[in-house]
Structure formats: structure tokens, C-alpha cells
């Protein structure tokens, strides 16, 4: 089944202990739609400026990411982020952020061909944008959203509205604590279920992730690697691969959910091994499957 | 096969957000030997004072923990710890610690019947005491030690000597970082392998644990529970159950190691559900096996 992702496409200037890149390919929608493309027909909705590098679109298209929903707006500039990761790469600082074309109220343009998309991933964007997209989609099978501290703090009412319209929420442990006031990922997750979603996926970075449903819980450790060159997009790749794998399985059986969590973990680990999309773009489905097999050997 | 544990037997005065207990049963050797008793013949070596409560010995004996090696020393007092856990129970403070009979150089008395013990767990004690015990044991099959910041900082030379004489080391992530200067549990674990042991088990508290060997790695998440009443002894129970399960399997195959990590995780989760040994002492092997089965359903 096909997966429709909405999210940002951006230029990222990145500095980590391993080096630096200028205006590299980035954005939540880019990472997520690319990650999903290992498993399912992947469609991206987003907006960039007239400075957008067509080679970046070509890269996504080479993996069959459908960009009919990627609007290129004349007279505008693409979103830009300049960030530095510290020696402890769990810590980072934003040196510069320019929303540019993503500033103001971005209303997504939804191609007619996308309106029956069965699987929908609402990547990191304003909950108002998420709801505008949902208004244009006809009876999707599964809608999952990501969010972040900026919207939890600044658009809480809109986020609570959105939570009533989605099947699942993906967020990290700090964001779950911020949203609920509960530091325990399990009880924070259960509090979020009371706000609407049927399941919550709490990402814990180097400590893995947990899927919390009404009657079930699933746990996945992080892939055991020290080869982290650039963590940018790890969470977006995780979410995109999770959704792509669920779209491929086309059900929410325990087996499909477990396979999706394994796939998400492994795809995120492939993403962080190079700057931006540098190593990620070389990975194939065979690489993903081989790493899943190796990962399974380490799991109890 | 039988497991010999050396460790402390102590009185613990405990305060957590859930209440308070005075002079309850505690000590690394007590928790570990009890945890091991679910799986194997369990023997405890340690020393207490003349104030030792015989009911505590009766409790351990009721689970077939062999106390022939528990010395009761006249004219001395049992080790005592008074600690308080904060609302975030990962944080605690020691209000009072009296080594008492465990002060000075404790030289363990090893009953003849223990000298051929095939499995040996060196619970949290000075590395000099660990080595004195090893001097008395004939060709054990597997020796695993625990350690802590106090010995890593204060007896590093002796600890490095000990590392050359053991098969495995169990410690938490903070201790692994302190010993190696490396914050990543995986690379810290690998550095410890260079110091002697064939494997290292890094405990990450609420984030689970990892077994790091020369050519393999195994990962186990924590048991998903919010029911933590008193974390005291969680690490000791984990280690004791791990060793008990390995002694039961009597090999280091991947299957046995995975079963031991599952058992250790589940037994530690049973321990923390009550103060001291209050709920732990009621748990049966059937409870452990039922919880392992439930846990496996949550694992990918």
C-alpha cells in the first residue's frame, strides 16, 4: 500500500565531531519519505523555494519517491537549519534557523491522485497544517503524526485537537514528558492514549523505543552501533520506515508491528552512519534486510 | 549446577515515595543468592554480626539457599545502610552507612563443601575479598564479578588484577564509563574485554541491559512496569538470577545467554515491586516463568 508523508524539505548545514557539511539535503519529510521507500510506494507533500536543488529531487525520485506533492514556490527560499552536535551527540545547538517558505501558515496542496492514500504520516510540522492535510484525505486506513516541543508548548490546543483525529502518535521520551508531565515513558504513553490515539510510539534514542497500545506493549532496543556520524534525521527515518513497513504489511497484527519496529530501528541506524543522506542514499532493501537479520541475533 | 555467591548481608533502612522500612533484610549477597535460588542450588558466603535476625536466615533457607558459608561473628554488628530514594527513583542518597563487621579486610571462610563450586558470583565487595575467595576455589567453570564506583575509584589496581581472573564482569553504565572513560556502553564494554574478561554485562536500569562478548552482543530491554516500590537490590537480583540461570543451563550457548538475560530482567522486576524482600520472597518459579512468557510477547 502507498504511504503519503507530509513534512519539511530543507537545507541543513551540519557540524558533528566527524566533520561539517554546507546546505546538505535535509528535512523531516525528506528523511521520512526516503526511509519509507524501502518498503512501500512513498509520496511526499511539502514546499521548497526557488533555490531548491533539482539534484535533491532527482535523488528522491531515483528511489521512486513520488514528488507530485512537492511544491516549488517562486520568489521564496527553502527552509534552512544550521546546527552543531557536541562530543556527546545527544546534545546539539541550533546556530541558525530560517523557516523561509515554511514560515506563516503553510497550507499543503494535495494532488488529486493522493487523496485516497491509505497510509498517512504527518511528519514534524504544525498541527494546523496536519489538520489541513487530513481535511483533504478521504478515509485513510492509518494516520500517524510526529510532533515536537515547539508545538507542544506553542500550539497545545491545536495539538490536542489533532490527537483526536489520528490513530498513532510518534514522539521522543522528552516530548512525551512535556506533553503529559509524566517522566515515565510507559505512563506518559498511556496518558496520551486517553487524549485520542490508539497507540503511541515513544522513541528513546540510544535506548530504543516502545509501542504502547491500549492492551499491548512492544519493546525494541536500539541497534548496537558506535558508528554515529550525524544523528540528523534519525527520528524522521525511524518514523518513515515504521510507517512504510506497516503500509507494506497492511495490518496491525503483533507480527506486523514488531517487523515495523525492527525495520524502523535498522533504517534509522543506517541513516546516522553518514552526513545528511550520504550513506543512507546508498543503502538498499537487501542492506536493510541483512541488518535486520543481524539485529535479530542480538535480541533475546 | 550449584552457584556460590559472595556478597553482603545487611540491615537496610529504606525510604521511597511509597513508604519506609526500618532495618529490613538487605545486602548484595542476600538479594543475589535469593534470586539465583529460582534456578539453581544457591550458596552464600558472607559475614554478619551477633545482632543478625535468625528469621532472615530462615527466610533464605526456606528457599534452599545454603548458608553454611554465612559467618555470624560474636562481638560485632551487621552492616547497616540507611538510604532514601527521591521522587525520581533513579536518584538516591545515603543517609547513613556503617560497614561494621564488613569493615577492615574481610577474609571469607570457605566451607570445604563449597570449594568445588562450578559457578561463582562475586557480589559487590572489595576486589581483594573477591581474590581471597578465588584462591580457595578449585577450577570453577564460570566466575563473574560485580563492582561499583567505590572500588573503581579506590582500589583500581586490585580491580584490574581481579579482571584478569574472572570470566565476566557485571556493572552499570555509569560504572562502565568510570572504569574506561568511555560513555558509550558498547565501546566501554569492549575496552573492559581488553582488561581480561570474556564478557561484560552492562546494566542500564530502566533501559535494560547488554551482554558484550568478543564476537557477540545481546540486548534485553527492561521489563515494562511502572510498579517500582523500592529499587534496592535490583542490580544484585539481576546478577544473581543471571548467574543462577546460567548455572541451570550449564553452558554459554546463545540460547542460554538469552534465557539468562530474560530471567535476570524478570526477576529484578519482581524484586522491585515491594520493599526489601517483601514481595520478592513470595514469588515462585511459576511466577518467574509466567512473567518471562508475558515479557516475550512484548519483545520484537
Q: A191 in contact with B at a CB cutoff of 8 Å?
A: no
Q: Do B298 and A216 touch (CB under 8 A)?
A: yes
Give CA–CA dist A52/B295, Å, rounded.
48
Length of chain A equals 300
Cα distance between residue B235 and residue B202, in whole Å: 10
pLDDT per position as a tens digit, A233-277: 999 999 999 999 999 999 999 999 999 999 999 999 999 999 999
Residues of A in contact with B298 (CB under 8 A): 216-219
User: Hunting for cell 498541527 — which residue is that?
Assistant: A127
- CATH superfamily of the A3-150+229-298 domain: Ribokinase (3.40.1190.20)
Q: What is the grid cell recorded at A218?
A: 512492544
Q: Is A82 helix (H, G, I), strand (E, B) or coil?
A: strand
Q: With beta carbons less than 8 A apart as the criterion, state whether B57 and B25 touch.
A: no
Alpha-carbon span B1 to A81, nearest angstrom: 60
Mean pLDDT of A137-148: 96
**B contacts of A208 (beta carbons < 8 Å):** 207-208, 221
Q: What is the pLDDT of residue B103?
A: 87
- What letters, b where the CB count within 10 A reaches 16 and e where it falls short, cover A24-46? bbbbbbbbbbbbbbbbbbbbbbb
| Predicted confidence pLDDT, tens digits, chain B (300 residues) | 999 999 999 999 999 999 999 999 999 999 999 999 999 999 999 999 999 999 999 999 999 999 999 999 999 999 999 999 999 888 999 999 999 999 888 999 999 999 999 999 999 999 999 999 999 999 999 999 999 999 999 999 999 999 999 999 999 999 999 999 999 999 999 999 999 999 999 999 999 999 999 999 999 999 998 789 999 999 999 999 999 999 999 999 999 999 999 999 999 999 999 999 999 999 999 999 999 999 999 999
Q: Of the candidates B241, B165, B229, B230, which has an alpha carbon nearest to the alpha carbon of residue B203? A: B241
pTM of the model: 0.95
> Residue A105: pLDDT band by 50, 70, 90 thresholds?
confident
Indicate whether A90 pLDDT > 90: no
Distance from CA of B35 to the nearest CA of A (A): 20
The answer to whether B234 and B240 have CB atoms below 8 angstroms apart is no
For domain B3-165+234-298, give its CATH number from 3.30.450.20, 3.40.1190.20, 3.40.30.10, 3.40.50.180. 3.40.1190.20
Tell me how crowded residue B111 is: count the other CB atoms within 10 A of its CB. 13
Q: Which residue has the cell 520493599?
A: B275
Following DSSP, what letter does each residue of B262-276 receive, concatenated?
A: HHHHHHHHHHTTSST
Contact A26, A275 (CB under 8 A): no
pLDDT at A104 over 90: no
Query: Lowest-pLDDT range, A47-51, A54-58, A103-107, B150-154?
Result: A103-107
* 3-class DSSP assignment, residue A219: strand
Residue B297 with chain A: CB contacts under 8 Å: 216, 254
- B181 lies within 8 A of chain A by CB: no
Asked if B254's CB is within 8 angstroms of A297's CB, the reply is yes
Interface with chain A: mutation pick from B86, B291, B300, highest number of A CBs within 10 Å:
B300
Q: Does B262 touch chain A (CB under 8 A)?
A: yes
pLDDT at B220 (0 to 100):
98
Q: Which residue in chain B has the smallest CA separation from A190?
A: B226
User: Closest to B258 (Cβ–Cβ): which among A186, A262, A300?
Assistant: A300
Q: How many residues in total does chain B contain?
A: 300
B300–A contact, CB cutoff 8 A: yes
Residue A299 grid coordinates: 535480541
Instruction: Give the model's pLDDT for residue B145.
Output: 98
Nearest to A186 among B186, B204, B224 (CB): B224
pLDDT value of residue B15 = 97
Residue spans per domain, chain B: 3-165+234-298
Residues of A in contact with B254 (CB under 8 A): 297
Q: Provide, as residue numbers in chain A, all residues whose Cβ is less than 8 Å from the Cβ of B204.
A: 207
Q: Does A88 touch chain B (CB under 8 A)?
A: yes
A112-122: average pLDDT: 97
Distance CA B231, CA A256 (A): 35
Whether residue B64 lies within 8 A of chain A, CB to CB, comes out as no
| Through-space distance between the first and last CA atoms of chain A, rounded to whole angstroms | 31
CB contact under 8 A, B300 and A184: no
pLDDT at residue number B2: 96
CB B147 within 8 Å of CB B6: no
Find out whether A23 and A56 touch, Cβ atoms under 8 Å: no
Residue B66 confidence (pLDDT): 98
Nearest CA in chain A to B264: A300
A281 pLDDT band (50/70/90 cuts)?
very high
State whether A216 and B254 contact (CB < 8 Å): no
Share of chain A above pLDDT 90, in %: 96
> What ipTM was assigned to the predicted interfaces of this complex?
0.91
- Whether B196 and chain A come into contact, CB under 8 Å, resolves to no
Q: Check CB contact under 8 Å for A210 and B204.
A: no
Compute the distance between CA of residue B201 and CA of residue B211 in angstroms, rounded to an integer.
4
Judged by CB atoms closer than 8 Å, whether chains meet at A299 and B262 is answered as: no
CA pair distance B200, B144, nearest whole angstrom: 9
pLDDT of A226 over the 90 cut = no
Distance from CA of A217 to the nearest CA of B (A): 6
Strand B217-220's sheet: what is its strand order? B65-73, B42-49, B3-6, B119-122, B142-146, B168-172, B199-203, B209-213, B217-220
Can you give the pLDDT at residue A61?
97
Phi, psi of B213 (to 5 degrees): -110, 180
Check whether A88 has a pLDDT greater than 90: no
Amino acid at each position: 500500500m502507498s504511504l503519503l508523508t507530509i513534512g519539511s524539505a530543507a537545507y541543513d548545514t551540519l557540524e558533528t565531531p566527524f566533520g561539517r557539511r554546507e546546505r546538505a539535503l535535509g528535512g523531516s519529510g525528506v528523511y521520512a519519505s526516503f526511509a519509507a521507500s524501502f518498503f512501500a510506494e512513498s509520496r511526499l507533500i511539502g514546499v521548497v523555494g526557488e533555490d531548491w536543488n533539482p539534484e535533491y529531487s532527482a535523488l528522491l525520485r531515483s528511489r521512486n519517491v513520488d514528488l507530485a506533492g512537492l511544491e516549488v514556490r517562486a520568489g521564496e527560499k527553502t527552509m534552512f537549519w544550521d546546527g552543531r552536535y557536541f562530543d556527546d551527540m545527544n546534545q546539539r545547538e541550533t546556530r541558525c534557523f530560517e523557516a523561509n517558505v515554511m514560515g506563516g501558515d503553510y497550507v499543503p496542496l494535495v494532488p488529486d491522485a493522493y487523496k485516497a492514500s491509505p497510509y498517512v504520516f504527518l511528519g514534524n510540522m504544525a498541527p494546523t497544517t496536519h489538520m489541513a492535510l487530513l481535511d483533504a484525505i478521504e478515509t485513510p486506513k492509518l494516520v500517524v503524526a510526529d510532533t515536537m516541543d515547539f508545538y507542544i508548548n506553542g500550539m497545545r490546543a491545536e495539538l490536542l485537537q489533532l490527537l483526536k483525529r489520528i490513530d498513532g502518535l510518534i514522539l521522543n521520551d522528552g516530548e512525551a514528558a512535556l506533553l503529559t508531565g509524566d517522566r515515565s515513558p510507559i505512563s506518559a504513553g498511556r496518558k496520551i492514549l486517553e487524549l485520542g490515539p490508539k497507540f503511541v510510539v515513544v522513541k528513546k534514542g540510544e535506548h530504543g523505543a516502545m509501542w504502547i497500545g491500549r492492551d499491548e506493549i512492544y519493546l525494541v532496543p536500539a541497534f548496537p552501533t558506535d558508528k554515529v556520524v550525524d544523528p540528523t534525521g534519525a527520528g524522521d527515518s525511524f518514523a518513515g520506515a515504521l510507517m512504510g513497513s506497516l503500509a507494506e504489511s497492511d495490518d496491525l497484527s503483533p507480527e506486523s508491528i514488531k517487523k515495523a519496529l525492527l525495520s524502523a530501528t535498522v533504517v534509522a541506524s543506517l541513516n546516522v552512519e553518514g552526513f545528511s543522506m550520504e550513506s543512507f542514499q546508498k543503502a538498499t532493501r537487501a542492506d536493510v534486510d541483512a541488518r535486520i537479520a543481524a539485529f535479530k541475533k542480538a535480541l533475546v
